[in-house]
Copies of this chain bind each other. A is one copy, B any other.
Amino acid sequence: MPILIVGSVALDSVKTPFGEANDVLGGSAVFFAAAASHLAEDLHLVGVVGDDYPIGDLDFLAERGVSLEGLERSNGESFRWSGVYHYDLSSRDTLETRLGVFADFEPRIPDAARGADLVFLGNIDPRLQLQVLDQVESPAFVACDTMNFWIEGAREPLLEVLGRVDAVFVNDEEARQLAGESNLLHAARWIRERGPRWVIVKKGEHGAILFGEDSVFFAPGYPLEVIFDPTGAGDAFAGGFFGHLAAQGGDVSATALRRAVIYGSAMGSFAVEQFSVDRFRSLTEDEIAHRIGEFREMTSFERATSEVMDHG
């Protein structure tokens, strides 16, 4: 079941308490694809890089079955982001954002990807997200990500996007900012009233929440020994979410979406264990299955049948 991801393809420079990495693979589309490729085949990435991009470094995505036909190469500099994470890794300072060729990006969806059943609009200008929606046929499930920059600076097109997607991925601050509501339940309701049937709120170490019509689902944050580099966790989360939906044949029932949130949480937790997308180079099926089992174990509070027998 084909997935289309449109987003940034960047070079990140990151400093964390554990070390630093310079000009390494980054961007929402790259993290998404790296994570999703472990669960699904037939992924189509659309984005842009400059002529300085170490394009060969993306081979590992191609080898994992990701089509890079929609990756445009323009003259100029690639999108670069650099940041420093603080001691407790829950906050960061952006040192520099250089849009480069991304400033003039106009997404063109290859014919092979226009019929994708599942579409993820990474965190880019909502006007570009609308351009993508104009080019796809009739996807079964479309979600978008966004951020404070667009909530403040491109509110109208963002609201238009909301009216055309099935789900929104935001963090808790973004949800509150978008809705102008401090209560997360109210904020999610406000967003849902603008169009999307589902709101997925990512809360970092505190987990994630899926808000639906009359349901709320909580996924815990995976308790990591070391959070090596938080960059890309949210995009890997979305990749895991979509990858699971695709692997299950596009079942987008409430129960399927709950499981997808767990797969997203698992992929987000892997992403932060190493710099860049490096964890996804070595990740195995067994490791994924084991972590999904841990999520099940972390939230289970039912007595086993034998215990019910013992303790009445």
Contacts and interface: CB of A to CB of B under 8 A. Distances in A.
Interface stretch (A75-83, A152-160, A180-188, A271-279): A180-188
A87 B218 CA distance: 25
Nearest to A223: B185
Contact of A184 (B205, B207, B253, B258): B205
Contacts of A89: 182
B185 A225 contact: yes
- The copy count of this chain in the complex is 2
A262 interface: yes
Contacts of A87: 182
Interface stretch (A19-27, A43-51, A293-301): A293-301
A128 interface: no
Contacts of A258: 300-301
Contact of A255 (B182, B215, B219, B307): B307
Interface string A180-200: 001111100000000000000
Interface residues of A, number: 46
Contacts of A307: 253, 255
Interface of A: 87-89, 182-186, 203, 205-207, 209, 215-221, 223-227, 248-249, 251, 253, 255-256, 258-259, 261-262, 296-304, 307, 311
29 contacts: A88-B182, A183-B224, A183-B226, A183-B227, A184-B205, A185-B223, A185-B224, A185-B225, A203-B206, A206-B207, A207-B218, A207-B220, A209-B223, A215-B297, A216-B298, A217-B301, A218-B220, A218-B221, A218-B299, A219-B301, A249-B311, A253-B307, A253-B311, A255-B301, A258-B301, A261-B301, A262-B301, A296-B302, A299-B299
